[in-house]
Structure 1
Amino acid sequence: MSRAGGPSKAREGHLITLYRTRLLETLVQLTVQTEAAVKAEAEANKYRNRYKRICELLRDAEGLLLQCFIFFRFHWSSFCYYLGQQLTSYLK
């Protein structure tokens, strides 16, 4: 490329236009890819948070069931004794 002008200036202008077009195309592609990645990450976070919440609920339910089991295990004999006493007094 010479400084004289003429055809070389036109060629330089054409190259600049070509590079600008390619750069804009690349930037558009990167923007689209970035938006897709952000959407995918948001979707993954949504399901990750739902999974964590479900795990917390299951843990809570498991703890509640364990407490019920322990309560009835230790109080079952007392309940049966009480029920037996009530039936005995009712049948007399």
Structure 2
Amino acid sequence: LELFSAEHPDVLPETADFLRLLREQTERMSQMTKTLLEMSELRMVPCNDRIEIAPMVEEIFADLSPLADRNGIVLECDGNGVMTGSDTLIYRL
């Protein structure tokens, strides 16, 4: 697609729309393939760690606080939940 677009920069509008659609669908399929490969990899990881939720939420809030502040949003978290899963994978998400 890129080679065709480079060799034929002055295509009809319909062709340009078709090429854009093909690029979008190709990117979508590429992302889907990547996601499927990651999911198959995740199945091999043991998921029986005890994970404290509060520290994870605090870390997420630290990442999001500049954006929240700019938009007048207050981030709050109360409680001390626990979940079972893969500590490595949950932080990766």
Q: TM-score range by the shorter chain?
A: 0.3 to 0.5
Q: Which has the higher helix share?
A: 1
TM-score (norm 1): 0.40
Q: Identify the structure with the greater strand proportion.
A: 2
Larger radius of gyration: 1
TM-score normalised by L of structure 2: 0.40
